[in-house]
Amino acid sequence: MWSPSRRRATWRRRPADVGCVVGSDHPTGPQLRYGFETAVEPWAPAWNAPNLTVAADAAVADTGQRSLRLWAAPGDVAPPAIGTFDVTGLSPGGTVTFRIRYLAGSGRVRPYVQDTDGGIHWPVMTPPALQPQGWTTCSWQVPPVAVRSVGLELDSAGNAGLVVALDTVEW
């Protein structure tokens, strides 16, 4: 059951209800919304855009032929995020699933929801443990807010930045 801990800042969920799993099996249930086969759009930098490089990439894919390659700048820079405002069919309590593949560097990623007032909500969960081999499935539930956008923040560590591939976005 969802319970807001602070208005427009964060939300809580029982730990058993969200999580990330490393493996090659595809998630089941939700409808595929983004596979990044033809374009990056409608995904775009959500904040700290100068610290993020985004490109469709045919070198690695979970679904189809391409994924979205995300590179967060190294060092002590503000973490960037990427997201989409095209959230048709997504409502409070819905489950969002991302497939993420670690490619290089170090750091962490974490999903977010932005509400219609501009507030950012983070799932209360351990950030996905990105593995050097295979895809990580990260599923989380939308808090009880009017959804404006969903996305992923990349927080790099060290001098190499963080490079990941995002693919198979479902809800």
Concatenate the DSSP letters of all residues of 111-132 into one string: EEEEETTS-EE--SSPPP---S
Q: Is residue 6 part of a domain?
A: no
pLDDT of residue 132: 82
Measured between alpha carbons, how far is 43 from 62 in angstroms, rounded to an integer?
A: 17
Can you say how many angstroms the Cα of residue 17 is from the centroid of all Cα atoms in its chain? Answer: 17
Q: What percent of the chain has pLDDT over 90?
A: 65
Parent domain of 133 = 18-170
132 domain-assigned: yes
- Residue 88: other Cβ atoms inside 10 A: 6
Residue 105 lies in a domain: yes
Residue 12 counted as domain residue: no
Please give the pLDDT value at position 16.
35
Residue 125 maps to which CATH number? 2.60.120.260
pLDDT tens string 75-103: 888 999 999 999 998 999 999 999 999 99
Q: Kindly list the distances between the CA atom of residue 118 and the CA atoms of 113, 146, 152, in Å, as whole numbers in the listed order.
A: 10, 10, 15
Q: State which amino acid sits at residue 81.
A: A
Tell me the C-alpha distance between 165 and 12, whole Å. Answer: 27
Taking 50 as the pLDDT cut, the residues of the chain under it are 1-18, 21-28
